[in-house]
Amino acid sequence: MRVAVIGASGYTGLELLRVLVGHPEVELSVLTSERFAGQSIDTFFPSLRGFVNLQLSELSIPTVAREADFVFTALPHGTAMGVVEELIQRGKRVIDLSADFRLKDGDVYKRWYGQHACPSLLQEAVYGLPECYREEIRDARLVANPGCYPTGAILALLPLMESGDLSVTSVVIDAKSGVSGAGRNPSLTTLFCEVSEGFRAYSVAKHRHTPEIEQELSFRAGRSVHVLFVPHLVPMNRGILSTVYVAGPADLSTEQAHAMFQRRYQNDPFVRLCSPGVFPTTQQVRGSNYCDVGVMVTEPTNYIIVISAIDNLVKGASGQAIQNMNVMCGFPETMGLEHVPLAP
Amino acid sequence: MRVAVIGASGYTGLELLRVLVGHPEVELSVLTSERFAGQSIDTFFPSLRGFVNLQLSELSIPTVAREADFVFTALPHGTAMGVVEELIQRGKRVIDLSADFRLKDGDVYKRWYGQHACPSLLQEAVYGLPECYREEIRDARLVANPGCYPTGAILALLPLMESGDLSVTSVVIDAKSGVSGAGRNPSLTTLFCEVSEGFRAYSVAKHRHTPEIEQELSFRAGRSVHVLFVPHLVPMNRGILSTVYVAGPADLSTEQAHAMFQRRYQNDPFVRLCSPGVFPTTQQVRGSNYCDVGVMVTEPTNYIIVISAIDNLVKGASGQAIQNMNVMCGFPETMGLEHVPLAP
Amino acid sequence: MRVAVIGASGYTGLELLRVLVGHPEVELSVLTSERFAGQSIDTFFPSLRGFVNLQLSELSIPTVAREADFVFTALPHGTAMGVVEELIQRGKRVIDLSADFRLKDGDVYKRWYGQHACPSLLQEAVYGLPECYREEIRDARLVANPGCYPTGAILALLPLMESGDLSVTSVVIDAKSGVSGAGRNPSLTTLFCEVSEGFRAYSVAKHRHTPEIEQELSFRAGRSVHVLFVPHLVPMNRGILSTVYVAGPADLSTEQAHAMFQRRYQNDPFVRLCSPGVFPTTQQVRGSNYCDVGVMVTEPTNYIIVISAIDNLVKGASGQAIQNMNVMCGFPETMGLEHVPLAP
Amino acid sequence: MRVAVIGASGYTGLELLRVLVGHPEVELSVLTSERFAGQSIDTFFPSLRGFVNLQLSELSIPTVAREADFVFTALPHGTAMGVVEELIQRGKRVIDLSADFRLKDGDVYKRWYGQHACPSLLQEAVYGLPECYREEIRDARLVANPGCYPTGAILALLPLMESGDLSVTSVVIDAKSGVSGAGRNPSLTTLFCEVSEGFRAYSVAKHRHTPEIEQELSFRAGRSVHVLFVPHLVPMNRGILSTVYVAGPADLSTEQAHAMFQRRYQNDPFVRLCSPGVFPTTQQVRGSNYCDVGVMVTEPTNYIIVISAIDNLVKGASGQAIQNMNVMCGFPETMGLEHVPLAP
């Protein structure tokens, strides 16, 4: 299968390439970048030397349509939507890694991102979290790949939200991300010296991933769910640790909560559950598509604490996109994604 | 004033020395270390070369009593209490940086740390948070210097707890610390490779600083306060960022909350308040005795979010100890502590 | 093929497991650790969950001999030699990752490491650098896997040393290593806070890898070669960058030097050459078995500068060991080692 | 004394402010920044809150001339020269932290930086290394503050270069710098994710600090000296470690070399010499104006190895500038610069 990556010069693009070059069913055919067109990809990303030697080219939809069977778009939000629409119109199946098709409600999109140019596709797009929408993804033309924070937060909360018995009244998500989540464009706030020894919160209670998290949790809970979401920036390259606090019912034990998670994820190959009361670190999932989850119920404060760890570039972006591709194309879901995490 | 530092070979000891060598009223006279006795302190800590050239010696209480007017004990909990008792009996004024005299209730101490050897001193010891106990510290023989996490957490919560109007029902403290808080003893969990790219929570809802936080918040609130306290380890040397979530009343604005903090801390030289809705980073207090605090009230979730940043080795340990010494000795409270934070 | 890893609880052991679980011809059968015997390997190293669920056991040579066809020993030097000898006597083929069989001269071993217990094996052991000894490795019973620094340094110097024309008079190797090279045993010097923001040289002109480098360069040059070797510790987990300075002849151009390297390594799948005048970073080889090499000749100072980058745990240790296993067992040399480097 | 900082929004500017706010003879009067004019400096750099509350303003030479007695220019090279010339013409004494007045030879400047606009000042400007030019600095109108790399390299080499007996034939400077040396402008190469786990060399044998080093060493040696200078980027905020290799004479011992350094620097308050054979780390000078130096002579390779450690923002830039100001103004040389290094 010939695959195109539109917007290949960012960290998400690089990570797509890292995984795709090892995928047995994939042949990379087109890589685009407006800014770096003309450069050889293995000069641009020397880690790829020997694996792929295509040139970055400017985006031409007809070329992509002709030379690729399947397309990943890794463009900024706002830019992605038009490209995706054209590709869909030309009959391509697309996985979009931007935020453009994640929100179902055009008004919500407008409030957080601005006017949407092709709202008709919002309903058709399938939210690409296989742990929730595996069946819908199978036949989708357009999959909206989830955000990195939402992936970690939703997987930490799904079993609790889907349980009709559990009346959850308050959800706090204190998330901590490595710096690659901010992308590869030069900016003051992601300079080494601003981040190192400078741990901080940002976009406190205002981050654009909030409506995405609330949308999906509300769908699963069958009622409107609000969350308090506070992201922090960690001086490391990869990884998101989401510490989730749920004010729980008085009578749940850690073991019962753990069993809920175990049942929920028994058929999901990329969710690994820690033993009851044990929590994951970002190092144990680095470079892999796993989401590791730990759960505990506290006394006497009666909170359910769930901590999930993902690699923001893999399960939080490119790995999940390829997991979606596998589902869409009928390949085994784990194909090309069997990386053992790289620790230390 | 001749000053002794008992237990000078750890990070807390080093930081005491860093500040004390610049203090105009202090002359260092005795430095002890059981393991490294005989070594010259400026060989042991080459950063101190040219500032102090004492030798580390084994602890001899009579020598300390004879050669020092004022004593800092920076020993492990359990070890500190006996040394402190003897020094007090010999008429020395002592600031203890261990956990041994922070908890007022011997039973609580026993549950979290083990049997206490001199419980009679627990009541006399003054909890060394000048923002709360300035008057009591002035005349104290024994000051129990607060833990690093409690300092950050309590300063983030004081104005809310002391307000009779505010009925706070739920407090979550999600704290993130640099690695120096774990001390200088070799251990697997603080090796570079275990920490770097390996963000994690630890002692989830079980950390020994929990009862210390609850004790002080309960004192200030005038009722029993429980908190959920979850610490995390950040790949950086210094700094604690405490993100505090308080389920607040419906009718408080960010500006009103900010004004509460402003009033509460107007006479505290080491608490710096950020503008309403702005939050601090650990970098902006590094190497200094400041606690920077930001506050915001969220809608529609109605949380009061407070974030405090301290340098765990300064305001979280040695700087605060010297602030206490200043208060005890009638020196200006900021003497020797005017370091401008070191950023980046 | 059933494979045993003796000494599986260090970083080298973990990295062997990471690669071996993905190797199509290998089944892990025995993992030993004296200190952590009884623990499940996937609890001990949670990154491995789902890939291998053996228990760590105490070392029993008869058990290893019975249950494994091929053995990796990842024990400290001094401890390894006895174990290796017994395994060889029982007919096993062994790759030893310690320093015990790298030096051919028992007197040199004694001077740097202490008395050798089985000097007779020193001559038989093959130095496991496939780029030099591929043929000898094929039939070896015992392969001495090279040190991390020697791998980077020797690969940077081979083409120059093997060239009869080039009269090299002075070799300076300024090497910089990530912290994982120091192993997983708790020690003061590898604590996070000692390393971070604390770049330093160590074992200046005294490091034990010096005689290993000199031995191999002398073999290749056909004359006695001395080098000045100065290692440094970099605040990062993985990677060695070796900056090598060779006082060169007056008439060599960068292009000519580059061509020498290209010829030398044209059949070595894990050496990747940068374009003339371009140099590698450690990030572009991380997690992979590649050694990336850049070369330049300077004017007017007439130095040949060669910089090589490896991942010290892969090409510098466990990956190279598995490359050697592939050669010894007749598998394709790159089998199981096709990891695309993980950047960023 | 009223002091202006022209170009206060970079790391060098921030560091000037950090030190100047604590200087007993200085009152900050004007801070300029073209890009951030109008912002309050303590909002822009929150670490400075409570120490200085001036506004950043656009540069107006007349205003600076009227409101300041002494001026630091921290502008990019090329931009600085015109501003400096005007300020000198208006009778101000200036310390310029750019490269514009460091090179004595306008042709050399042109080759490395471009055409110089006021070459007449090149001869008048004094190279601001007090360890070499203390007397000249005292009466200078214009001091060219040295580059960060040259400061570390020259201080490591001075005693050897000034010794007439020692015939040095080959000098290699392998330097490693923290990221703050690259400044605060957003750029791809200094993003956190490009630097972390990505140690690398850059500008190999082509860095602009090379002619500056050669100029000063040649002056001190009384003959033309060429060096091979290779800088590397270390994943840390502050610090330069320069490892210097000098092919030495056969008959020098480590102790003799050490004695040469001791004699040379006995009257220089900011050079601290390590014991013979001991080398410094960057951590032991962080946040201070010290240059710590270690020296060793190797056998049998007969190299003199010198390693110097500085904080690139202090002794490598702003601290040295203030040391120069002290000398120019007749203040004690160490005034305001007595910071104890911040470790860890």
For C148-213, the DSSP string reads: HHHHHHHHHHHHHHH-TT-----EEEEEEE-GGGG-SS--GGGBHHHHTT--EE-STTT-THHHHH
**DSSP 3-state of C325:** helix
Given this model, what pLDDT does residue D10 score?
97
Cross-chain residue pair C341–A274, CB shorter than 8 Å: no
For residues B199 and B285, state if they share a domain: yes
8 A C-beta contact, residue B152 and residue B242: yes
Cβ-based neighbours of B93, under 8 Å, separated by 6 or more: B70, B71, B140, B141, B142, B328
Given this model, what pLDDT does residue A61 score?
98
For residues C97 and C234, state if they share a domain: no
8 A C-beta contact, residue C54 and residue C32: no
C-alpha to C-alpha distance for C327 and C337, rounded to whole angstroms: 13
C-alpha to C-alpha distance for C137 and C96, rounded to whole angstroms: 13
Instruction: Copy the structure tokens of residue D67.
Output: 């409101």
Taking each continuous run of H as one helix and of E as one strand, the counts in chain B are 12, 14
Give residue-wise pLDDT tens across range B325-340.
999 999 999 999 999 9
Rg (CA), chain B: 20
Q: Which amino acid, one-letter code, is at A163?
A: S
User: What residues in A contact B298, CB-CB < 8 Å?
Assistant: 205, 228
To which H or E segment does residue C259 belong?
Answer: helix C254-264
For residues C69 and C18, state if they share a domain: yes
For residues A117 and A171, state if they share a domain: no
Please confirm, yes or no, whether D148 is among the known catalytic residues: yes
Instruction: Copy the structure tokens of residue C38.
Output: 């009884």
Q: pLDDT grade, residue D118 (50/70/90)?
A: very high
Cross-chain residue pair D192–A179, CB shorter than 8 Å: yes
Considering only residues D218 and C302, tell me which one the structure prediction assigns the higher pLDDT. D218
CA separation (Å) from B221 to B157, B163, B218, B303? 10, 8, 5, 19
User: What residues in A contact B178, CB-CB < 8 Å?
Assistant: 197, 199
Q: Does residue B329 lie within any of the structural domains?
A: no
For residues D166 and D274, state if they share a domain: yes
Interface test with D, best of C169, C171, C177, C197 (most D CBs within 10 A): C197
pLDDT higher than threshold 90 for residue B250: no
Q: pLDDT grade, residue C275 (50/70/90)?
A: very high
For residues C166 and C307, state if they share a domain: yes
Q: pLDDT grade, residue C274 (50/70/90)?
A: very high
% chain D with pLDDT above 70:
99
Q: C299-303, D20-24, D48-52, D258-262 — which is least confidently predicted?
A: C299-303
User: What residues in C contact A339, CB-CB < 8 Å?
Assistant: 339
pTM for this one? 0.97
Instruction: Give me the mean pLDDT over the B291-302 stretch.
Output: 92
Q: Which residues of B are catalytic?
A: 148
8 A C-beta contact, residue D119 and residue D106: yes
User: What residues in A contact D196, CB-CB < 8 Å?
Assistant: 179, 192, 235-237
Q: Does residue C27 lie within any of the structural domains?
A: yes
Given this model, what pLDDT does residue D68 score?
98
For C100-165, the DSSP string reads: TTT-S-HHHHHHHT---S-THHHHHPEE--HHHHHHHHHT-SEEEPPPHHHHHHHHHHHHHHH-TT
Average pLDDT in chain D: 96
8 A C-beta contact, residue D305 and residue D261: no
8 A C-beta contact, residue A190 and residue A182: yes
pLDDT higher than threshold 90 for residue B341: yes
C-alpha to C-alpha distance for A263 and A258, rounded to whole angstroms: 9
Cross-chain residue pair D179–A195, CB shorter than 8 Å: no
Cross-chain residue pair B344–A197, CB shorter than 8 Å: yes
Distance (Å) from the alpha carbon of B239 to chain C's nearest alpha carbon: 12
Instruction: Give me the mean pLDDT over the D120-136 stretch.
Output: 97
C-alpha to C-alpha distance for A154 and B69, rounded to whole angstroms: 59
Strand order in the sheet with C93-96: C56-57, C27-32, C2-6, C70-73, C93-96, C142-144, C126-127
D121 inside 8 A of chain B by CB? no
Give residue-wise pLDDT tens across range B9-39.
999 999 999 999 999 999 999 999 999 999 9
Where does residue B78 fall: left (phi above 0), alpha (psi -120 to 50 degrees), or beta otherwise? left
pLDDT higher than threshold 90 for residue D77: yes
Distance (Å) from the alpha carbon of B1 to chain C's nearest alpha carbon: 32
Q: Does residue A332 lie within any of the structural domains?
A: no
Q: pLDDT grade, residue C124 (50/70/90)?
A: very high
Instruction: Give me the mean pLDDT over the D66-91 stretch.
Output: 97
**At B233, phi and psi to the nearest 5?**
-110, 120
Give residue-wise pLDDT tens across range A207-216.
999 999 999 9
Report the CATH number at residue C96. Answer: 3.40.50.720
8 A C-beta contact, residue C142 and residue C94: yes
Give residue-wise pLDDT tens across range C154-168.
999 999 999 876 767
Distance (Å) from the alpha carbon of A74 to chain C's nearest alpha carbon: 17
Decide: residue D316, CB within 10 A, 0-12 exposed, 13-18 middle, 19+ buried.
buried
Distance (Å) from the alpha carbon of D127 to chain B's nearest alpha carbon: 27
Cα dihedral across residues D197, D201, D207, D209: positive or negative: positive
CA separation (Å) from A277 to A173, A282, A341, B29, B182? 18, 17, 22, 48, 22
- CB atoms near residue B117 (< 10 Å): 12
Cβ-based neighbours of B6, under 8 Å, separated by 6 or more: B30, B32, B59, B64, B71, B72, B73, B74, B75, B83
C-alpha to C-alpha distance for A214 and A104, rounded to whole angstroms: 12
Chain D window 322-341: which residues touch C at a Cβ cutoff of 8 Å? none
Q: pLDDT grade, residue B168 (50/70/90)?
A: confident
Distance (Å) from the alpha carbon of B244 to chain A's nearest alpha carbon: 10
* Tens digits of pLDDT across chain A (344 residues): 999 999 999 999 999 999 999 999 999 999 999 999 999 999 999 999 999 999 999 999 999 999 999 999 999 999 999 999 999 999 999 999 999 999 999 999 999 999 999 999 999 999 999 999 999 999 999 999 999 999 999 999 999 999 876 767 789 999 999 999 999 999 999 999 999 999 999 999 999 999 999 999 999 999 999 999 999 999 999 999 999 999 877 789 999 999 999 999 999 999 999 999 999 999 999 999 999 999 999 987 889 999 999 999 999 999 999 999 999 999 999 999 999 999 99
Q: pLDDT grade, residue B222 (50/70/90)?
A: very high
Q: Does residue B331 lie within any of the structural domains?
A: no
Chain B window 178-237: which residues touch D at a Cβ cutoff of 8 Å? 180, 197, 237
Cross-chain residue pair B238–A197, CB shorter than 8 Å: yes
Given this model, what pLDDT does residue C171 score?
94
For residues D6 and D65, state if they share a domain: yes
The domain containing residue D46 runs over which residues?
2-124
Rg (CA), chain C: 20
For residues D195 and D87, state if they share a domain: no
Interface test with B, best of C192, C195, C200 (most B CBs within 10 A): C192
pLDDT higher than threshold 90 for residue D193: yes
Given this model, what pLDDT does residue D168 score?
72
Cross-chain residue pair D237–B18, CB shorter than 8 Å: no
A253 inside 8 A of chain D by CB? no
Given this model, what pLDDT does residue B251 score?
85
Q: Which of B295, B274, B100, B184 is nearest to C191 (CA)?
A: B184
CA separation (Å) from A342 to A271, A283, B260, C81, C311? 17, 7, 48, 29, 12
- CB atoms near residue B299 (< 10 Å): 11
For residues D57 and D94, state if they share a domain: yes
Cross-chain residue pair D197–C236, CB shorter than 8 Å: yes
C-alpha to C-alpha distance for C1 and D262, rounded to whole angstroms: 63
User: What residues in A contact D180, CB-CB < 8 Å?
Assistant: 193
Taking each continuous run of H as one helix and of E as one strand, the counts in chain A are 12, 14
Distance (Å) from the alpha carbon of C197 to chain B's nearest alpha carbon: 8
Residue that the structure tokens 């004694």 belong to: C110
Q: Does residue B162 lie within any of the structural domains?
A: yes
Cβ-based neighbours of D62, under 8 Å, separated by 6 or more: none
Q: Does residue B256 lie within any of the structural domains?
A: yes
Chain B window 72-111: which residues touch A at a Cβ cutoff of 8 Å? none
Decide: residue B121, CB within 10 A, 0-12 exposed, 13-18 middle, 19+ buried.
buried
Instruction: Give me the mean pLDDT over the C70-97 stretch.
Output: 97
C-alpha to C-alpha distance for C212 and C98, rounded to whole angstroms: 12
Instruction: Give me the mean pLDDT over the D52-62 stretch.
Output: 97
Instruction: Copy the structure tokens of residue C144.
Output: 């001495």
pLDDT higher than threshold 80 for residue D166: no
Cross-chain residue pair A197–B237, CB shorter than 8 Å: yes
Total domain count, chain B: 2
For residues A155 and A192, state if they share a domain: yes
Cross-chain residue pair A192–D11, CB shorter than 8 Å: no
Nearest CA in chain B to D343: B47
Given this model, what pLDDT does residue C297 score?
96
Report the CATH number at residue B245. Answer: 3.30.360.10
User: What residues in D contact B339, CB-CB < 8 Å?
Assistant: 339
A35 inside 8 A of chain D by CB? no
CA angle C255, C261, C263 (to 5 degrees): 100
pLDDT higher than threshold 90 for residue C85: yes
For residues A11 and A96, state if they share a domain: yes
User: What residues in D contact B11, CB-CB < 8 Å?
Assistant: 344
Q: Does residue D324 lie within any of the structural domains?
A: no
For residues A25 and A111, state if they share a domain: yes
User: What residues in A contact C21, CB-CB < 8 Å?
Assistant: 340
Q: Which residues of C are catalytic?
A: 148
Interface test with A, best of C17, C41, C43, C47 (most A CBs within 10 A): C47
Which of A124, A140, A159 terminates a domain? The answer is A124
8 A C-beta contact, residue C17 and residue C79: no
Given this model, what pLDDT does residue C88 score?
97
Given this model, what pLDDT does residue A41 score?
97
8 A C-beta contact, residue C73 and residue C95: yes
Rg (CA), chain A: 20
For A190-201, the DSSP string reads: GBHHHHTT--EE
C-alpha to C-alpha distance for B151 and B165, rounded to whole angstroms: 24
Given this model, what pLDDT does residue B235 score?
98
Distance (Å) from the alpha carbon of C149 to chain D's nearest alpha carbon: 15
Q: Which chains touch D (3 or more CB pairs under 8 A)?
A: A, B, C
Q: Does residue C248 lie within any of the structural domains?
A: yes
Given this model, what pLDDT does residue C301 score?
80
Q: Which of A344, A316, A333, A336 is nearest to A97 (CA)?
A: A316
C-alpha to C-alpha distance for C259 and C281, rounded to whole angstroms: 21
